[in-house]
Amino acid sequence: MKKVRLRFAPSPTGPLHIGGARSALFNYLYARKYDGDFIVRIEDTDLDRSSRESEENIKDALLWLGIDWNEGIDRGGSVGPYRQTERLETYGKAVERLMETGSAYRCYCSPDELEAMREEQKARSEMPRYDGRCRNLTPEQEDMFQFEGRKPVIRFRVPEGKSIVIDDLVRGRVVFESDGIGDYVIVKSDGIPTYNFAVVVDDHTMEISHVIRGEEHLSNTPRQSMLYDALDWEPPAFAHVSLILGKDRSKMSKRHGSTSVENYRNAGYLPEGLVNFLALLGWSPEGEEEIFSMDELIRLFDLDRVAKNPAVFDLEKLRWINHQHIQRGDLSRLTESAVPYLVEAGFLTAEQADQEADRLEAMMSVIRSGLDALEDVKDRAELFFHSRPLEDPQAREMVSQDYIPDMLRTFLTHLDNGEKLTPGGVKKAFKETMKELDLKGKQVFMPVRIAVTGVMSGPEMHELIPVLGVDEVRRRMEQNLGRTL
């Protein structure tokens, strides 16, 4: 059996988006599952739109997601280079073969002539396609065109009357008729190959066994299949994964929210959360479980459970999955990942975060249950860093009653009993305060909350107070009441 080798072949024309990340992930999972190779190749033949900046963005996003490759850009390998603009020689050889066997020819039509051809076809209600007028040029005609200074493109000679059958691993048997396809350009006039040609040469020379990619490429597949035939090469197995739709069932676009991986990263989605979510965009495991680590996905993933029908991008589901991963994640890593958001919110500086790592962890262990994404710490963590100004008239009134200073003092004494503060210790201090001063719960709980936080809602006091410590609790109480206790 052929060695399992898959690739992700992004065009570096923008940041890595959700659809691309899903393709990368499916290829990665399949390669890892079958102990194969996973290759990253850069398809940068669109010179105007490709940039190194996008390539870097894609690489960063893949690595952040935990999708690493063992061969390709930055990693090397025996069938490189792995950037298409560095492979022109390889394409040149394949073109020569196609020219020799008559499967390709030079076409000298100018853009204006092609445009006129299309207009005429439309006027006759025909499908616009290249009519093959340069198919059989004589050497003299070619010389003439060259003499005129025309720069040719190279077109593939599409065989007539042929059915092209693709046995797609997701979509089943798909048949295309060659007669609907005009002779297409495989090398542009500047000598740069087109996608449909370069992809075939690369997938062949890189010994790719399976191509998993988005359904939008299904219509390219017969063009690629004909090239495999003409070059007498065996094509890889194809698996076209369905489109990703927004909740309104139209193709996922910026209208539906962020489409780039980077945006989700910036909003504080965990890589394992996003990976889990992406895996479920088109694939489903057996059973009810929906939360998986990368290792579990590698074990469970297979193409026979990839659906033909479109996947719907549901942000709520992403939030829920990410929430689950936040609960399961390693606390110190989670805390570290949350620091930039705390710094951005102005709660502390990066240096302070280093010094207070233990306290931050204690805080995170309390607030993680309320987080869907790390950026939510901006709301959830605020009261751990400062009290809000005591502005609400109802709250002010509540803590200006006569018994309050004495009650708070008693509470502080019970908190400060020489033992390490714990949630249980705080609960006990509330009880003892009530008992000692013969007060009811409502005379104690809400006033303490207001004195410590300035507001009437927020985290549980028995969770907040151990993180703050007695001194900070006292300082805040004195500040909010404007008096020493």
CA dist 384 and 464 (Å) reads 7
Q: Which contacts qualify for 342-348: CB closer than 8 Å, 24 or more apart?
A: 342/377, 342/378, 342/381, 342/385, 344/378, 345/377, 345/378, 345/381, 345/382, 347/381, 347/382, 347/384, 347/385, 347/386, 348/385
**Closest CB to ligand GLU among residues 107, 211:** 211
Nearer to ligand GLU, 217 or 328 (CB): 217
**Cα–Cα distances in angstroms (integers) from residue 352 to residues 337, 348, 379, 471, in the given order:** 15, 6, 19, 18
Phi, psi of 40 (to 5 degrees): -115, 120
Rank residues 237 and 343 by Cβ distance to ligand GLU and give the closer one. 237
151 as an active site residue: the answer is no
Helix (H) or strand (E) holding 107: strand 104-107
Q: How many helices (H) and strands (E) does the chain have?
A: 22, 12
Residue 382 CA: distances (Å) to CA of 149, 377, 453: 70, 8, 10
Nearer to ligand GLU, 203 or 372 (CB): 203
Of 2-61, binders to ligand GLU (CB under 6 A) are 9-11, 43
We find the least distance from the C-beta atom of residue 225 to ligand GLU, in angstroms, to be 13
- List, in order, residues 6 or more apart from 376 with CB less than 8 Å away: 268, 370
Interface positions, 193-252, toward ligand GLU (CB under 6 A):
199, 213, 217
Of 145-204, which residues contact ligand GLU (CB under 6 A)? 199
Q: How far is CA 10 from the centre of its chain?
A: 13
How near is the Cβ of 64 to ligand GLU at its closest, in Å? 19
Q: Are 282 and 307 in contact (CB under 8 A)?
A: yes
Query: 214 vs 425, which CB is nearer to ligand GLU?
Result: 214
* Residue ranges in 369-428 that form contacts with ligand GLU under rule CB under 6 A: none
Residue 213 vs 474, nearer CB to ligand GLU: 213
For residues 222, 203, 313 and 277, what is the CA-based torsion angle, rounded to 10 degrees? 150
Show the binding pattern over residues 430-469: x = contacts ligand GLU (CB under 6 A), - = does not.
----------------------------------------
Q: Which residue has the tokens 């593939």?
A: 156
* Smallest gap from residue 182 Cβ to ligand GLU (A): 21
CA atoms 176, 181, 187, 193: torsion sign? negative
Total residues at interface with ligand GLU (CB under 6 A): 7
Core vs surface per residue 363-398: b (16+ CB within 10 A) or e: bbebbbeebbbbbbbbebbbbbeebeebeeeebeeb
Compare residues 216 and 358 and give the one whose CB is closer to ligand GLU: 216
**Residue in the block written with tokens 């709980």:** 445
User: Closer to ligand GLU at the Cβ: 168 or 272?
Assistant: 168
Pairwise CA distance, residues 422 & 429, whole Å: 10
Closest approach, Cβ 42 to ligand GLU, in A, equals 9
Alpha carbons 170 and 190: distance in angstroms, whole number? 37
- Nearest distance in Å: CB 79, ligand GLU: 17
Residue 269 CA, distance from chain mean position: 10
Report how far residue 477's alpha carbon sits from residue 449's, in angstroms, rounded to the nearest whole number.
10
The least CB distance from residue 136 to ligand GLU, in Å, is 32
Closer CB to ligand GLU, residue 9 or residue 363? 9
Which two structure tokens, joined as six digits, stand for 157? Answer: 């000679």
CB 48 → ligand GLU: shortest distance, Å?
15
CB of 61 to ligand GLU, least distance (A): 14
CB of 348 to ligand GLU, least distance (A): 42
Question: For 101-207, where are the alpha helices, taking DSSP H only?
Answer: 111-123, 139-147, 195-205
- The catalytic position among 93, 247, 251, 254 is 254
CA distance 393 to 398: 9
Active site members: 254
Binding site for ligand GLU (CB under 6 A): 9-11, 43, 199, 213, 217
